[in-house]
Amino acid sequence: MIQKNERRRYASDLSDSQWSIIEPLFPPAGSRSKWEKRELVNAVPYFVDNGCKWRNLPHDFAPYTTVANFYYGAIRSGLWEKIRAALVERVRTDAGRNADPSYTIIDSQSVKPPQPRKNAGLTEGKNKRAQTAHRSRYHGKSSGGSGSCRQYT
């Protein structure tokens, strides 16, 4: 196991009290686990806060492939949602509020979808002379007018 004293502390690292809240959510570490879960968790906020690529994580974290695999595995297992819920509950109780919200506000807007229009197209809203010129240009029909419209083929 890597000792937590071996790397410098980052501003994004979990505090001891935060870790004590989420530590019980992790399954017991097996014998194959080389990296402490806290170190893997600490690498994720660093990654998010700094907007870096996985491979640009500082070398005092676990290898970036290990951290990325841990991160995506935690998404699939629902671990991040459990962590979020536990931390929100603690913040609410520390503020003297009920652990679960008593109500939720959802703000939405209903918009009627556009209805299909009859006769919508190139000739909608044009006068009769313009419609005739359009037909003449694109359909090869005679405009019946002064002959100023050319035919395009």
Contact residues for 66 (Cβ-Cβ < 8 A; gap 6+):
34, 35, 40
CA distance 19 to 35: 15
Structure token digits, residue 67 = 């951290």
Give the per-residue pLDDT at 43: 94
What pTM does this model have?
A: 0.58
Alpha carbons 70 and 42: distance in angstroms, whole number:
11
Q: Do 36 and 4 contact (CB within 8 A), yes or no?
A: yes
For residue 119, the model assigns a pLDDT of 60
- Block means of pLDDT (10 residues each) for the chain, 153 residues, are 66 92 84 84 92 90 93 94 90 86 74 68 60 66 51 52
